């Protein structure tokens, strides 16, 4: 079945992602669950197979995987304006919150320890569990791929790092290439993007040129703004796994030079855990809280754009070639293995960090079970379940 996503508008994309930007708590794995519920199950912008292929591709690329998935969905729906709308809607709520936090970091020092945050983490358990269950039904239809998914989960837990995740996906690809028959793939889906190949090639070239030239420009001009852009661009370009993996790189970039103190860095990290949306928006806090100018909201936006730019240049450069590649029979078999491995990664992430941080006692388990019931049986929208979880946790 050929899955050509229906056309939409950038305004439609922005509205959908803005709501998710305000309600998607729980980190990148939970975000993938929210996206699947909203755009595959509810809005039906694309099919399960297409969504799984996008998730697999974004797991391979450096940068924030869940944000890249969101931009890909916006791109499929409404072209480049849709990609920008998806990024703005999903990213700006948390980025603005963290910039505001930077202005009053001392006043809001306990922001990350509020009771409502525990309720949101418990709801995230239900969201990820729903995504794992639903995706496994579609992507692991036989014993072979179910076994591969469980093996991927075990290996991911045994090697808890971004390198382990990349290894799991690579092994899943190799298994699919050698042992899954091309005919075992379930549907002929398409991930067709409205980007010309010349623009894609220019995007890849720009990515490489900026990675090489920015450090040289910063060194020879003495510009602190260029130094900021260079360091945050490099962090976004070289990190796999996103989220928590980028934090050590950022700490090495901003604390040793004395741009921000370690206590302020850790306070911002705590706040980043308490806001919805992608953890990469922590860059906005750092840019706003730094001592040397540019800082404040200008520094926050500068660092935010710098850390996201490389991953999106890569995404725009790769997506136009991805659809042609994935239509090859051997690549489809490989993707069948990759998709089963991705289900295994989600299963492992359901345990840690989602379960281990979200279920600390019987009350948290009850909250997660009730949220799962509302999402799966009663089909309550995720944003409403999030709000209910926060209210109930704060009330108790």
DSSP 21-41: HHH--S-HHHHHHHHIIIIII
End-to-end distance of the chain based on CA atoms, in angstroms?
A: 49
**138 contact partners, CB below 8 Å, separation of at least 6:** 48, 49, 52, 186
**298 contact partners, CB below 8 Å, separation of at least 6:** none
Q: Please give the average pLDDT of every successive group of 10 residues along the chain, which has 396 residues.
A: 65 96 86 93 89 87 90 94 96 94 66 67 84 86 94 92 79 93 57 83 96 94 93 87 69 87 80 84 94 90 96 92 80 87 87 85 94 90 82 82
**257 contact partners, CB below 8 Å, separation of at least 6:** none
**Do 264 and 98 touch, CB atoms closer than 8 A?**
no
Question: What pLDDT, on a 0 to 100 scale, did the predictor assign at position 292?
Answer: 84
**Single pTM value for the model:** 0.83
Tell me how many domains the chain contains: 1
Question: What pLDDT, on a 0 to 100 scale, did the predictor assign at position 110?
Answer: 54
The three-class DSSP label of residue 61 is: coil
Q: How many residues can be counted in the chain?
A: 396
Question: What pLDDT, on a 0 to 100 scale, did the predictor assign at position 188?
Answer: 53
Question: What pLDDT, on a 0 to 100 scale, did the predictor assign at position 245?
Answer: 65
For residue 52, the enclosing domain spans 1-107+115-396
Question: What pLDDT, on a 0 to 100 scale, did the predictor assign at position 308?
Answer: 96
**Do 152 and 345 touch, CB atoms closer than 8 A?**
yes
Q: Which tokens in the block code for residue 381?
A: 């929208």
């Amino acid at each position: 079945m050929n899955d050509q996503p229906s056309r939409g508008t950038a305004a439609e994309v922005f509205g959908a992602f803005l709501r998710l930007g305000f309600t998607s708590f729980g980190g990148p794995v939970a975000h993938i669950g929210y996206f699947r519920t909203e755009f595959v199950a509810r809005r039906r912008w694309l099919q399960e197979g297409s969504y799984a292929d996008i998730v697999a591709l974004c797991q391979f690329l450096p940068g924030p995987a869940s944000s890249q998935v969101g931009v890909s969905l916006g791109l499929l729906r409404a072209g480049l304006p849709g990609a920008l709308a998806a990024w703005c809607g999903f990213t700006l709520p948390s980025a603005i919150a963290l910039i505001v936090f930077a202005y009053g970091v001392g006043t809001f020092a306990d922001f990350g320890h509020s009771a409502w945050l525990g309720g949101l983490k418990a709801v995230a358990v239900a969201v990820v569990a729903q995504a794992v269950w639903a995706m496994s039904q579609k992507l692991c239809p036989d014993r072979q791929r179910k076994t591969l998914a469980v093996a991927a989960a075990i290996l991911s837990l045994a090697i808890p790092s971004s390198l382990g995740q990349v290894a799991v996906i690579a092994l899943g690809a190799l298994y699919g290439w050698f042992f899954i028959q091309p005919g075992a793939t379930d549907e002929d889906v398409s991930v067709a993007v409205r980007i010309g190949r010349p623009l894609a090639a220019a995007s890849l070239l720009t990515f490489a040129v900026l990675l090489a030239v920015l450090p040289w420009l910063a060194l020879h001009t003495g510009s602190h703004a260029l130094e900021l852009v260079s360091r945050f661009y490099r962090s976004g370009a070289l990190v796999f796994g996103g989220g928590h993996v980028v934090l050590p790189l950022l700490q090495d970039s901003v604390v040793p030079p004395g741009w921000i103190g370690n206590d302020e860095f850790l306070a911002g990290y705590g706040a980043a855990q308490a806001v919805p949306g992608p953890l990469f928006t922590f860059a906005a806090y750092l840019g706003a809280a730094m001592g040397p100018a540019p800082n404040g909201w200008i520094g926050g936006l500068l660092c935010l754009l710098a850390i996201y730019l490389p991953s999106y240049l890569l995404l725009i450069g790769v997506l136009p070639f991805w659809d042609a590649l994935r239509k090859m029979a051997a690549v489809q078999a490989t993707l069948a293995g990759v998709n089963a491995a991705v289900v295994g990664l989600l299963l492992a992430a359901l345990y840690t960090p989602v379960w281990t941080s979200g279920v600390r006692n019987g009350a948290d388990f009850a909250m997660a079970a009730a949220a799962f019931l509302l999402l799966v049986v009663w089909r309550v929208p995720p944003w409403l379940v999030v709000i209910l979880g926060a209210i109930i946790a704060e009330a108790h």
